[in-house]
Amino acid sequence: MTRVTIDHLQEVIEQALLRAGLASEDATACARIHAESTRDGVNSHGIDRIPRFVDYLARGWVDPQGAFEQVQRLGALEVYDGHFGLGVRHAMRATERAIALAREHGMGLVAVRNTTHWMRGGTYGWHAVEQGMAAIMWTNTESCMPAWGASSQSIGNNPLAMAVPGGRAPLVLDMAMSQFSYGRLGVLQAQGASLPVAGGFDEHGQLTCDPGAIQATRRILPAGYWKGSGLSILLDAMAVLLSQGRPTHEIDAVERGSGTGSSQVFMVFDPEQLGGIDACRAMVDDMTAHLSQAMPDESGRAVRWPGAATFHRRHDNADIEVNAEIWQEVQRLAHGEPPR
In terms of C-beta density within 10 A (0-12 exposed, 13-18 middle, 19 or more buried), how is residue 176 classed? buried
| Residue of 8, 34, 45, 117 marked catalytic | 45
Rounded to an integer, what distance in angstroms lies between the CA atom of residue 158 and that of residue 242? 15
H or E segment to which residue 85 belongs: none
Rounded to an integer, what distance in angstroms lies between the CA atom of residue 262 and that of residue 112? 8
Single out the residue of 218, 223, 187, 185 nearest to residue 201, CA to CA: 218
Single out the residue of 18, 16, 11 nearest to residue 35, CA to CA: 11
Rounded to an integer, what distance in angstroms lies between the CA atom of residue 237 and that of residue 155? 11
Whether 45 sits among the annotated catalytic residues: the reply is yes
Rounded to an integer, what distance in angstroms lies between the CA atom of residue 83 and that of residue 71? 12
- In contact, 323 and 190? CB cutoff 8 Å: yes
- In contact, 155 and 232? CB cutoff 8 Å: yes
DSSP 8-state assignment for residue 46: T
Single out the residue of 132, 120, 253 nearest to residue 183, CA to CA: 120
Amino acid in position 224: G
H or E segment to which residue 126 belongs: helix 122-129
- In contact, 14 and 25? CB cutoff 8 Å: no
Is the sign of the CA dihedral 54, 58, 64, 68 positive or negative?
negative
Residues acting as catalytic residues: 45
